[in-house]
Amino acid sequence: MIWNPNKECMSTDEMRALQGRRLHKIVKYVYHNVPFYRNKLQKMDVTPDDIRNIEDIHKLPFTTKQDLRDNYPYGLQAAPKSEIIRVHASSGTTGNPTIVGYTRKDIEVWSECMTRCLTAYGVSRDDTFSVAYGYGLFTGGLGAHYGVENLGAAVVPTSTGNTEKHVRLIRDLGITGIACTPSYALYLAETMDHMGIGKNDIRLRVGAFGAEPWTESMRAEIESRLGLKGFNLYGLSEIMGPCVSYECQEQSGSHICEDHFFPEIIDPDTLEPLPYGQVGELVFTTLTKEGMPLLRYRTKDLCSLMNDTCPCGRTSVRMGRILGRSDDMLIIRGINVFPSQVESVVLSMPEFAPRYLLVIDRVNNLDTLQVQVEVRQDYFTEQFDTLGALGTLEKKLADKLKSVLSISAKVQLKAPGTIERSQGKSKFVLDKRQLK
Amino acid sequence: MTINQLSIFIENKQGTLLQVLDLLKKAGIQLIATNLADTVEYGILRIICSDPQKAYEALKGEGVAVAMTEVFAVEIDNEAGRGADAIASFVNKGVSIAYLYSFIVDGKGILIFRTDNPELAAEAISNDGLCTLTEQDLSSLV
């Protein structure tokens, strides 16, 4: 099934023309409403009238996460405050979260695009659908939730945590669809094993998985253990949230809702656009967003774009699997974590040497984060002569990390000089997860 | 009334204890009493030794996380119940003991302990006529 054939199956020529019109409009809109963009465009000697076709997008400046941080909280907001009806926040690199405000129309577009995703997965109004992304500042929970409601299926807002209860609901309510991170899906399977509930006891048939990188072998494992078909769901809060692209039944790349989010692939070093099929950094321009429209936002995700025809009938450009990042961002339990966030916390505590190691692993299908820090020799005084005092110190760091990262980290105290250094420069991250 | 003890942060893995002891050996330090408190990942090694200042400098110079801490060394008769009596003096005064270890030398029991309220502990010692050892007393043992 296709939710919106008018848009999803539009001829390429028509789509490019629509995108061109929308691009002109959005550039005009930010030019008049966002001083940040007006200054940038004026410096480049570009006016909204120079942007007539979608090809003109190359004349526009890029936007980065750093720009969002520098303009915290509302500097890139284009709509007046009275028009904003929802605010989400994602983690930032220096303690400043990224704030995204949505107008009523933005929420409608989001729901519409999310509904396209669900329909492509084969979800209909007859389904009962569990949304097991976190509800809250993170866009996953509410984003998927609105899509399910818009479609007319019954949404069960299970969120994360209390997995045993979740399993019982899946069984007892005959839940047929689920949206969550792929690692949580595996954890769910694990929990079912412990509870003695098999895939034949449940009726799950569709999974919408995203918010963290995953692989074909993970897909195969999830599908065989939960007895469902798993589909990729891609999104990022700066652009909208989950709904930006989705797999269809063909599962050959993810269709982008390109009437709303225009994709480009660039060389992350030269910033030059790359042709279809080549791997580079994914860049999005929001074509219709009112709250916080972004021009050429650099996602830092590495992938390629495909424009060949998909047998499903949709004509939209598709993106391949995310192959990595062009920066050092880590995705742990679906949450974005930058080593620099950990660094800023460690540096703020004089008890520790300015050196750390993040050890990321996957235990029982759940990501674990351990932060190793060195006790600083000068600070190891009489007051730390008890295990209680050291435990309190550990907890102080763990609490600070939790408030900055939004996920809990296990702190491990190390003796001075014991964290490995390579050629005088510290290696900050040890990712032991096998995502092959 | 207190004596100096070395408190050393060490990781709970093979070889770390020996590293520290080897450094003390090189510095010619003689150990009088030791205590090791451990967690899964790390521990605190506490040492009473012949020359705490020299030992402290030797370890510090090698980058070891070492602190000089003040602890009480109380001498008690080597008889059943004397330990309880001594601790009762402190508890009755409202003094909490953070940690304690003991050894026997020359027919006398020695209790080494740390408290968060040294003044109150000193008062208890004076009031109840308990005998404390000085560093000189201890170095005469080696």
Crossing angle (nearest 10°) for helices B52-61 and B16-26? 120
Query: Residue A419: pLDDT band by 50, 70, 90 thresholds?
Result: confident
Residue in this structure with the two tokens 């953070």, named with its chain if needed: B98
Residue in this structure with the two tokens 């995310």, named with its chain if needed: A322
Least confident window among A82-86, A261-265, B75-79: B75-79
Q: What is the dihedral of CA A14, A15, A21, A23, to 10 degrees?
A: -160
Closest residue to B11, CB basis, from A381, A384, A418: A418
Least confident window among A289-298, A326-335, A374-383: A326-335
**Does residue A140 contact residue A334 with C-beta atoms inside 8 Å?**
yes
pLDDT at site A114: 98
The H helix count followed by the E strand count for chain B is 5, 7
Cβ-defined contact of A416 to B64 (cutoff 8 Å): yes
Would you put residue A248 in left (φ > 0), alpha (ψ -120 to 50) or beta? beta
Closest residue to B65, CB basis, from A388, A391, A415: A415
A214 phi and psi angles, rounded to 5 deg: -145, 175
A375 shares contact with chain B (CB less than 8 Å): yes
Which pLDDT tens digit goes with each residue over A362-415?
Answer: 888 789 999 999 998 888 999 999 999 999 999 999 999 998 888 899 999 999
**Of B36, B69, B102, which residue is a domain's last?**
B69
Cβ-defined contact of B65 to A385 (cutoff 8 Å): no
Average pLDDT over residues A137-165: 95
Domain identity same for B104 and B63: no
pLDDT at site B99: 96
Using a CB–CB cut-off of 8 Å, the residues of B that contact A are 7, 9-11, 16, 37, 39, 41-42, 44, 46, 60, 63-70, 98-99, 114
Cβ-defined contact of A417 to B63 (cutoff 8 Å): yes
| Domain total in chain B | 2
**Does residue B102 contact residue B83 with C-beta atoms inside 8 Å?**
yes
Closest residue to A381, CB basis, from B41, B42, B67: B67
Q: Where are the beta strands (DSSP E) in A132-251?
A: 154-156, 177-180, 206-210, 229-236, 241-247
Cβ-defined contact of B7 to A382 (cutoff 8 Å): yes
How far apart are the C-alpha atoms of A405 and A241, rounded to whole Å?
A: 19
Domain identity same for B8 and B53: yes
Share of chain A above pLDDT 70, in %: 97
Least confident window among B2-11, B28-37, B133-142: B133-142
Domain identity same for B135 and B74: yes
Share of chain B above pLDDT 90, in %: 86
Which pLDDT tens digit goes with each residue over B11-65?
Answer: 999 999 999 999 999 999 999 999 999 999 999 999 999 899 999 999 999 999 9
What are the C-alpha distances in Å from A13 to residues A19, A54, A284, A316? 10, 11, 20, 11
Cα of B133 to nearest chain A Cα, Å:
20
**Does residue A123 contact residue A153 with C-beta atoms inside 8 Å?**
yes
Domain identity same for B105 and B130: yes
Cβ-defined contact of A382 to B68 (cutoff 8 Å): yes
Domain identity same for B82 and B112: yes
Domain identity same for B52 and B77: no
More reliable by pLDDT, B140 or A24: A24
- Chain A residues in contact with B11 (beta carbon < 8 A): 414-415, 418
More reliable by pLDDT, A431 or A112: A112
Domain identity same for B56 and B89: no
What is the 8-class DSSP label of residue A273?
Answer: B
Cβ neighbours for A364, distance < 8 A, ≥ 6 positions apart? A187, A190
Substitution target in A370, A378, A385 with the highest count of B β-carbons within 10 Å is A385
ipTM score of the complex? Answer: 0.87
Least confident window among A199-213, A322-336, A370-384, B64-78: A322-336
Cα of B30 to nearest chain A Cα, Å:
21
pLDDT averaged over chain B? 93
Domains contained in chain A, CATH given: 5-327 (3.40.50.12780), 335-431 (3.30.300.30)
Domain identity same for B56 and B75: no
B25: CATH = 3.30.2130.10
Which pLDDT tens digit goes with each residue over A256-282?
Answer: 999 999 999 999 999 999 999 999 999
**Does residue A135 contact residue A128 with C-beta atoms inside 8 Å?**
no
pLDDT averaged over chain A? 92
Closest residue to A377, CB basis, from B7, B10, B65: B65
Residue in this structure with the two tokens 């980065």, named with its chain if needed: A64
Average pLDDT over residues A156-170: 94
pTM of the predicted model as reported, rounded to 2 decimal places: 0.72
Q: What is the dihedral of CA A275, A276, A277, A283, to 10 degrees?
A: 90
How far apart are the C-alpha atoms of B99 and B104, rounded to whole Å?
A: 18
**Of B69, B101, B128, which residue is a domain's last?**
B69
pLDDT at site A283: 98
- Chain A residues in contact with B16 (beta carbon < 8 A): 415
Domain identity same for B6 and B59: yes
pLDDT surpasses 60 at A416: yes
How far apart are the C-alpha atoms of A171 and A430, rounded to whole Å?
A: 38
Domain identity same for B9 and B61: yes
- Amino acid identity, position A83: E
**Of B28, B53, B69, which residue is a domain's last?**
B69
**Does residue A146 contact residue A111 with C-beta atoms inside 8 Å?**
yes
Domain identity same for B75 and B131: yes
Cα of B114 to nearest chain A Cα, Å:
9
Cα of A388 to nearest chain B Cα, Å:
9
How far apart are the C-alpha atoms of A148 and A158, rounded to whole Å?
A: 13
Cβ-defined contact of A385 to B7 (cutoff 8 Å): yes
- Chain B residues in contact with A418 (beta carbon < 8 A): 11
What is the 8-class DSSP label of residue B71?
Answer: E
How far apart are the C-alpha atoms of B46 and A384, rounded to whole Å?
A: 12
How far apart are the C-alpha atoms of A101 and A290, rounded to whole Å?
A: 9
Range of the domain at B104: 70-139
Return the ∠ at Cα A11 (arms to A9 and A15), rounded to 5°: 95
pLDDT surpasses 60 at A423: no
Task: Sort B127 into a burial class: Cβ within 10 Å, 0-12 / 13-18 / 19+.
Answer: exposed
pLDDT at site A206: 98
Query: Residue A427: pLDDT band by 50, 70, 90 thresholds?
Result: low
How far apart are the C-alpha atoms of A238 and A99, rounded to whole Å?
A: 8
- Chain A residues in contact with B46 (beta carbon < 8 A): 385
A90 phi and psi angles, rounded to 5 deg: -120, 165
pLDDT at site A215: 79
Would you put residue B137 in left (φ > 0), alpha (ψ -120 to 50) or beta? alpha
Domain identity same for B80 and B134: yes
Cβ-defined contact of B9 to A412 (cutoff 8 Å): no
